[in-house]
Copies of this chain bind each other. A is one copy, B any other.
Amino acid sequence: MQRLLYSLSGASGQHYSPHVWKIMMSLKHKGLDFELKPVSFGDISKIEDGSFTSVPVLNDQGTLLGDSFEIAEYLEETYQDAPSLFDGPGGLQLSHFVESYCKTVLHPTLAVIAVMDMYNIMSDADRAYFRPAREKRFGKSLEDVYAGRDAELSTLPEKLNPVRDLLTNQDWFGGEKAMHADYVLFGTLQWCKVCCPDPILAPSDPVNLWFERMLDLHDYMGRKAVSEAVAA
């Protein structure tokens, strides 16, 4: 049996879903190999048993799972002898807070920053789905959302203040090593790293220095994905 991870991807195979990146990193953290299965928006409802409405979807040797946090909990419980993603029950509970921070503080901003670059790397079929769906959500055209990109980008450094403060005293959310909470924020930012030609963080920002460390983890998986995306 195989281990398959379904991932939204661009026309040239760029994996840009933040939630899929959380699980790509968590699988490698557990030392688990997997095959990435690229899907388009239109394919999501046809994944495996047809019960899923978003990615990631993991088929772990026959066990089907959706939702990145549920997958991380499953991996922690199923592969207990591998390095821990949560380092105990308190770490699992507080990883939910890191999720809530990324979801409510960063996602709305990054959604504006990345919208046009995401659109540009999509297949024609995905563009035909994405444009009306996002224009309905934003209540304006993608071009009008994009017009607010610079203003939105200028708010990002302040929104990262809690992370910057944390990283003044420790190298990872997990202290001396990365844990799932690191992957939650990493996936969130890797979304833009894969889509956007221009950097969204200042080179010397401690958050960027942490992000660069994250790109080096697990045999440079995040870094290779970006260079492949750029080459594509």
Contacts and interface: CB of A to CB of B under 8 A. Distances in A.
Interface of A: 84, 86-98, 100-101, 103-105, 161-166, 169-170, 173-175, 179, 181
The majority secondary structure among interface residues of chain A is: helix
Nearest to A166: B100
Given A100-B166, A166-B100, A93 B173 contact: yes
A103 B96 CA distance: 19
A169 B96 contact: yes
Contacts of A162: 97, 100-101, 103-105
B97 A181 contact: yes
Contact of A90 (B88, B96, B165, B170): B88
A7 B92 CA distance: 33
B91 A93 contact: yes
A97 B166 contact: yes
A185 to B, nearest CB: 10
A169 B67 CA distance: 15
A77 B101 CA distance: 29
Contacts of A86: 88, 90
A165 B93 CA distance: 13
A161 to B, nearest CB: 4
A173 B97 contact: yes
Nearest to A69: B169
